[in-house]
Structure 1
Amino acid sequence: MYYLKKGFAIIVGSIFLAIGINLFLTPYEILDGGIIGLSLILHYLFRLKIGLMIIVLSIPIFILAWFKYKNYFFNSLHGLLISSVVIDMFKPLRFLIQMEPIFSAIIGGIFVGFGIGLMLRFETSTGGTDLLAQFISDKTSINVGFVIFIIDAIVVLLGGAFISTNTLLLSIVTIIAVGITTSFITRNSYT
């Protein structure tokens, strides 16, 4: 029964993530942090598929996971593959909703945070820089949350430099919304 719930969480989480990215972030060139943010930068600059870029950029991290964190590798592989496919499947929904960019940044952050948080509650994720942050934390004894924050800040600053100041400001709002929502969804112990 647990694996059925976990599979359901991956699918529902992936749908929320895809809606947040496609309906609310991409129309205004807004970023999230980590691998998703890097994939969005590549999409905005070169029109590459977001989900496909998430998979490609995650390969080195998953190779690291294979050797250092096998449990993470197996728990996140399904989340990575399903969420990436769903993100690219939901691409036609872009520009379906139009609103002020600041509201889009907040709502998109809530959707992305809910999707990520739901998957984390069932000990799965989309993979990405969380593992890299854990590896850095293990090697340096720096708090993993702080390492994730630094990685996300670097991604958003890159996006601001390569895309626009507006992207930078809206992305900061999105990352705050993602963080608050993810924390709210995961605040109780795992199911």
Structure 2
Amino acid sequence: MATIIGSLLLGIGVNGFLVPNHLIDGGVLGIALILHYFFDFQTGVTMVALSLPICLIASKNKRGYFFSNLQGLMFSSLFIDLLTPLRHQFFVSHLTSALIGGVIIGTGVGLMLRYKTSTGGTDLLAKIIAENFTINIALTIILIDGLIVLAGFTVLALDTFLYSCMAIAIVGLTTSFIKGKSTL
């Protein structure tokens, strides 16, 4: 149930708040959003294509990660693509979109991580890094996502870049808060 609710929140946050203002998140989702903005690729389908190799690599380390994260990836991608009509429902500023979208996405990701699943992709990569090096998972997500947004800086306007960085920080902080102290 946490996977479905988390995935639904992810779809709402992406389509209702990030996409209308051309903001990006980090990780595989950020890459999928950049590809959507420039080539009109379906965001959810692109996430699956980019995340499957990470899921397969992770399955070699922890087989249990593969199935729970594959489920999270599939539900998240499905909701992101199903909820595309939300892209034309909310008309708010970049700042409001970064704040609200970040909280909604962070709540979805945090809920999934709290119940031992994720959207695959860099969330899964962050989970493995945090577990193996005893680093806070939220910090790990912020760092990975920040690197991807930095790579996207070459194709984003300065204000979009800055609001995207804000959204990523909000996602990471909200994820940390929602995930709590539970073990991975």
- TM-score, normalised relative to structure 1: 0.87
* Alpha-carbon offset, residue 96 of structure 1: 0.5
Partner in structure 2 of residue 80 of structure 1 = 73
Note the alpha carbon deviations across 1:129-164, whole angstroms, 9 max, x for none.
Answer: 13334556788x584645533321111112221122
Q: Does residue 1:35 correspond to 2:28, yes or no?
A: yes
Q: Which of 125, 129, 140 in structure 2 is aligned with 1:132?
A: 125
Partner in structure 1 of residue 146 of structure 2 = 153
Q: Is the 8 A contact 1:160 1:166 kept in 2?
A: no
1:154-173 equivalence runs, <5 A: 154-173=147-166
For the pair shown, which has the larger CA radius of gyration, 1 or 2? Answer: 1
**2: CA distance, partners of 1:123 / 1:138:** 12
In structure 2, relative to structure 1, the CA distance for the partners of 1:116 and 1:147 (3 Å cut) is: closer
Q: Which of 84, 89, 95 in structure 2 is aligned with 1:96?
A: 89
Q: Which of 44, 48, 55 in structure 2 is aligned with 1:51?
A: 44
Q: Is the 8 A contact 1:159 1:167 kept in 2?
A: no
* Alpha-carbon offset, residue 65 of structure 1: 1.7
Partner in structure 1 of residue 18 of structure 2 = 25
Percent of paired sites with the same residue: 45
Q: Which amino acid aligns with 2:32?
A: S
**1: CA distance, partners of 2:17 / 2:68:** 28
- TM-score, normalised relative to structure 2: 0.90
**2: CA distance, partners of 1:135 / 1:110:** 23
Q: Is the 8 A contact 1:29 1:167 kept in 2?
A: yes
In structure 2, relative to structure 1, the CA distance for the partners of 1:133 and 1:113 (3 Å cut) is: closer
- CA RMSD across the alignment: 2.1
Q: Is the 8 A contact 2:24 2:33 kept in 1?
A: yes
Q: Which amino acid aligns with 1:187?
A: G
In structure 2, relative to structure 1, the CA distance for the partners of 1:138 and 1:10 (3 Å cut) is: closer
**1: CA distance, partners of 2:20 / 2:124:** 29
* Alpha-carbon offset, residue 69 of structure 1: 2.0
**2: CA distance, partners of 1:13 / 1:135:** 20
* Alpha-carbon offset, residue 79 of structure 1: 0.6
Q: Does residue 1:113 correspond to 2:106, yes or no?
A: yes
Range 26-35 or range 141-150, more displaced: 141-150
Q: Which amino acid aligns with 1:66?
A: S
In structure 2, relative to structure 1, the CA distance for the partners of 1:45 and 1:90 (3 Å cut) is: same
Runs (5+) with no aligned partner, structure 2: none
